[in-house]
C-alpha cells in the first residue's frame, strides 16, 4: 500500500514536530488532538519554525505554503479513516495509548500501521491490545524532532518485516536515520544515556566536581552539545526521572535506581526550563547557577 496520508495523534511537543517532518517529506498530514486549540498551538509552532526557515532562505515562501497546505487539522478520531499510517504521540500513559489504538482499530483500514512514539511503554503491550499485532511498531523520535536525526524503530514480538520496512522507509523520507532496537525497557538511547547520567549524579553527590563543572567537562571533554544537567532542564527533569523509574522497574538493576536528589527536585515542581527552575535558575531569562539547593 502506498503511504500518502499520515495521521499524527497528539499535537504537543513531539506530535507537532512529527507532523512538521511528515509534511516536509511530502505526506498529507492529519493533525489530531482532543481540542482544536491544542492542534492550533502545534500548527502555529510549525508555521513559526517554517517562517524562520524562509527568513534564513532555506525554503521559499511558496514551499512553506505547500508544506502547511498538506496539513489538515481534525479533533475527530474518525479522520483516521483517510490515513495510511498512524503515529501516536499522545500522553505517556498506557490506558490512553491503548484506547487510542483500540478506537483506531475499528476506524482504520486493516492494512494501516500503528506506530507509537512512546518512550517507555512496551510496544508488545500496545500491539497486544489491537487486532493487528503484526502492524504495530515503535517509532521513537527525539526532541526537537525537526532537528534530531535519529529514529529508533522498535518491532514488537509479532511485528511483520513489512511493517518494519515501511516504517524505516517513512523515517528515511522524513530525513531521519534509523536503528532497529529490540522492545526492551528504555529501548537503546534512553537506556545508555540513563547509565551515563547516573554516573554524573554520583559524581555530583560525591563532590567530584560542581554541577556546573560537570556540565562544562562533558561538553568540552566529550563534545556533547549540552551537559547532563543542562539537558535535563531542557527536556524536563520529570521526564528524566520517569526514564530512571522505567529502567529500574524493568531491569531491577541498582544502577538505574532514580537518584534521590532528582526525585526531590521533581516533587518540588522544579521541572527545568519550562517551570523557570531545575538544576539551574532561568527566572531572570538567563541560565544561572542555583545557590538555594541543599544537594
Positions in 66-95 near ligand NAD (CB under 6 A): 89-92
Residue with the shortest CB distance to ligand NAD: 12
φ/ψ (deg, to 5) at 60: -85, 165
Give the binding range for ligand NAD (CB under 6 A) out of 104-112, 114-122, 216-224, 246-254.
114-122
Give the contacts of 216 (CB within 8 A, at least 6 positions apart). 227
The only residue of 15, 138, 228, 272 in contact with ligand NAD, by rule CB under 6 A: 15
Positions in 211-240 near ligand NAD (CB under 6 A): 235
Q: Does 13 bind ligand NAD (CB under 6 A)?
A: yes
The residues with which 72 forms a beta bridge, in sequence order, are 30
Positions in 142-161 near ligand NAD (CB under 6 A): 142-143
Preceding amide of 41 cis, omega within 30:
no
The only residue of 54, 68, 96, 209 in contact with ligand NAD, by rule CB under 6 A: 96
d(CA 110, CA 150): 28
Active-site positions read: 119, 140, 152, 190
Provide the sign of the torsion angle of the four alpha carbons 143, 95, 27, 65, taken in this order: negative
| Residue 141 contacts residue 117 (beta carbons within 8 Å) | yes
x/- mask, ligand NAD, residues 26-45, rule CB under 6 A, reads ------xxx---x-------
State which residue, 90 or 112, has the beta carbon closest to ligand NAD.
90
The only residue of 20, 104, 117, 159 in contact with ligand NAD, by rule CB under 6 A: 117
On the CB side of 195, CA atoms within 13 Å amount to: 9
Longest Cα separation, the chain: 58
Number of residues in contact with ligand NAD under rule CB under 6 A:
25
| Residue 24 contacts residue 6 (beta carbons within 8 Å) | no
Residues of the shown chain interacting with ligand NAD in the complex, contacts defined by CB under 6 A? 9-15, 32-34, 38, 89-92, 96, 100, 117-119, 140-143, 235
Amino acid at each position: 500500500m502506498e503511504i500518502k496520508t499520515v495521521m499524527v495523534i497528539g499535537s504537543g511537543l513531539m506530535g507537532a514536530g512529527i507532523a512538521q517532518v511528515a509534511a516536509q517529506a511530502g505526506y498529507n498530514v492529519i493533525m489530531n488532538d482532543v481540542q482544536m486549540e491544542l492542534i492550533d498551538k502545534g500548527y502555529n509552532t510549525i508555521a513559526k519554525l517554517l517562517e524562520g526557515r524562509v527568513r534564513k532562505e532555506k525554503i521559499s515562501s511558496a514551499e512553506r505554503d505547500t508544506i502547511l497546505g498538506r496539513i489538515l487539522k481534525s479533533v475527530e478520531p474518525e479522520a483516521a479513516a483517510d490515513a495510511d499510517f498512524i503515529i501516536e504521540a499522545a500522553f505517556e500513559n498506557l490506558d490512553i495509548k491503548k484506547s487510542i489504538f483500540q478506537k483506531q482499530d475499528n476506524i482504520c483500514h486493516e492494512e494501516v500501521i500503528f506506530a507509537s512514539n512512546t518512550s517507555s511503554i512496551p510496544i508488545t503491550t500496545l500491539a497486544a491490545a489491537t487486532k493487528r499485532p503484526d502492524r504495530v511498531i515503535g517509532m521513537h523520535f527525539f526532541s526537537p524532532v525537526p532537528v534530531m536525526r535519529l529514529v529508533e524503530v522498535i518491532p514488537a514480538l509479532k511485528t511483520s518485516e513489512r511493517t518494519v520496512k515501511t516504517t524505516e522507509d517513512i523515517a528515511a523520507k522524513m530525513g531521519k536515520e534509523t536503528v532497529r532496537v529490540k522492545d526492551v525497557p528504555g529501548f537503546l538511547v534512553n537506556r545508555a544515556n540513563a547509565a551515563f547520567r547516573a554516573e554524573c549524579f554520583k559524581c555530583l553527590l560525591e563532590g567530584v566536581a560542581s554541577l556546573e563543572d560537570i556540565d562544562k567537562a562533558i561538553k568540552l571533554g566529550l563534545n556533547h552539545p549540552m551537559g547532563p544537567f543542562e539537558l535535563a532542564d531542557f527536556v524536563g527533569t520529570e521526564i528524566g526521572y520517569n526514564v530512571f523509574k522505567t529502567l529500574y522497574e524493568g531491569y531491577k538493576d541498582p544502577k538505574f535506581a532514580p537518584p534521590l536528589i532528582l526525585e526531590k527536585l521533581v516533587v518540588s515542581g522544579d521541572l527545568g526550563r519550562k517551570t523557570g527552575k531545575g538544576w539551574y535558575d532561568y527566572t531572570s531569562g538567563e541560565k544561572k547557577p542555583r545557590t538555594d539547593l541543599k544537594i
